[in-house]
């Protein structure tokens, strides 16, 4: 079953896992230390992120390390870009309005 990446990143724990893995590859045990949940709970989040192809596994000896999948993150960034442009336009309009109000008060 292929999961939706936007549903996956809607969960705050999964976003926190992504943020940690973005800094460095980590094992499930190392990730679990950062959360007030069981190792099994973290594993469930890792499985969902893996199914969405946001992270990937790499076996090193007996350990499994999770890495961020940059191309999938770029897909999210591309989707967000349309909203970023809208926000920037609105903030610019707000700046102009505030500047006009400030000039009128002088």
Same domain assignment for residues 91 and 45: no
Q: Supply 79's token pair.
A: 């989707």
Domain count within the chain: 2
- CA distances (Å), origin 40, targets 22, 29, 47, 54, 104: 21, 10, 10, 19, 61
Which residue in 64, 20, 17 sits closest to 41, CA to CA? 17
Q: Do 36 and 77 belong to one domain?
A: no
**Which of 44, 48, 66 minimizes the C-alpha distance to 57?**
66
Q: Are 51 and 79 within one domain?
A: no
What domain range is 42 assigned to? 1-68
Q: Are residues 86 and 105 in the same domain?
A: yes
In the three-class reduction of DSSP (H, G, I as helix; E, B as strand; rest coil), residue 69 is classed as coil
Q: Is the pLDDT of residue 2 over 70?
A: no
- pLDDT of amino acid 1: 57
- Asked if residue 78 and residue 48 are part of one domain, the reply reads no
Reported pTM: 0.76
pLDDT digits (tens, 9 = 90+) for 56-88: 999 999 999 999 999 888 988 998 998 999 999
Q: What is the mean pLDDT of the chain?
A: 92
Pair (88, 63) in one structural domain:
no
């Amino acid at each position: 079953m292929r999961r939706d990446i936007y549903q996956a990143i809607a969960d705050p724990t999964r976003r926190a896992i992504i943020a940690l893995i973005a800094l460095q590859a980590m094992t499930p045990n190392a990730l679990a230390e950062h959360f007030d949940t069981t190792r099994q709970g973290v594993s469930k989040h890792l499985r969902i992120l893996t199914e969405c192809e946001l992270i990937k596994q790499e076996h090193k000896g007996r350990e499994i390390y999770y890495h961020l999948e940059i191309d999938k993150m770029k897909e999210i960034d591309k989707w967000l870009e349309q909203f970023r442009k809208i926000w920037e336009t609105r903030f610019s309009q707000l700046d102009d309005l505030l500047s006009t109000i400030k000039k009128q008060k002088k």
